[in-house]
Amino acid sequence: MCRVTVLGAFTLTDGSAAVPLGVDSRRLVAYLAVHPRPQPRTALAADLWPGVDAAAALRLLDEAVDGVDVPGLLDGADGADGADGTSAPLALAADVEVDLAEAMALIRALPGIAADAVTDTSVLDVDILPGWTAAWLEIERERFRQLRLHAVEERSLRLSAAGRYAAAVEMAEIAVKTAPSRESARRVLIEAHLAQGDVAAAVAAYDEYQELLRSSVGGPTPTGLDGLFPPAPAWPVLRARRVMPRSAVQLPGLRSVRGGGTTRRLVAGGSTR
């Protein structure tokens, strides 16, 4: 059984053995793994070798196909002409396992999986071939990223609603790691922390996001996250919409005493020292 992985890094295995491929053959197999439908050779060659003369690109494609010395991996590899005289399109054989296809199947299945079911979502942790810069890959990489972000965020919300708070936080952290500036990812992370009762972690996640925005745009940026927290005066840092050290967040039951150019904090009913 052959298996192709394109999430994180490219690999081709036949049984338990890794199959080495030349650069062009590797690009060909990766392209077919990302595009599961049969690919017309002319369009495939143009995508893989942009800017190259069409006839030359087709010759390069034929060489790349010949370099894939794995029987049964490619459908259409024999190049037999169809009824219209054109060469057969290329695709991975139907029984080839592809991790991206498994990830897409999981994304489609997640809404129907019970929140109390233990589900391996590790295939949603990484991008498609993040180190590759080919133009044909960028569109599919971003499409997959958006799909998996939405799936992970929705899963986190469902886990929180089911009381699986630690798992909800873990899922939300995947979304934040994938897209640090995405507000909806930060929202589900903060909501998961608050549902868990971990107010300090929720405030830390808010502060981190505000600091990211401040460093990006050069100043405090209003977001839709402030309403997730209790109203002021318990949360002056949020009411002021400005970045402050987390130590400056005053929890209920604490008040500040200012004097002599310093600020001291005392527990309600206590004394300064």
Give me the tens of pLDDT residue by residue for the chain, a chain 273 residues long.
Answer: 899 999 999 999 998 899 999 999 999 999 999 999 999 999 999 999 999 999 999 999 999 999 998 999 999 987 655 444 467 899 999 999 999 999 999 999 999 999 989 889 999 999 999 999 999 999 999 999 999 999 999 999 999 999 999 999 999 999 999 999 999 999 999 999 999 989 899 999 999 998 898 888 776 666 788 778 766 545 544 434 434 444 334 334 333 333 344 333 333 333 333
What pLDDT score does 214 carry?
Answer: 86
What pLDDT score does 81 carry?
Answer: 52
What pLDDT score does 232 carry?
Answer: 52
Query: Cβ contacts of residue 111 below 8 Å, gap of 6+?
Result: 154
What pLDDT score does 116 carry?
Answer: 87
Q: Map residue 11 onto helix, strand or coil.
A: strand
Q: CB burial class (10 A; 0-12, 13-18, 19+) of residue 236?
A: middle
What pLDDT score does 205 carry?
Answer: 93
What pLDDT score does 213 carry?
Answer: 87
- Tell me the two tokens of residue 89: 């399109």
Q: Give me the phi and psi of 12, to 5 degrees please.
A: -130, 125
What pLDDT score does 239 carry?
Answer: 38
What pLDDT score does 118 carry?
Answer: 87
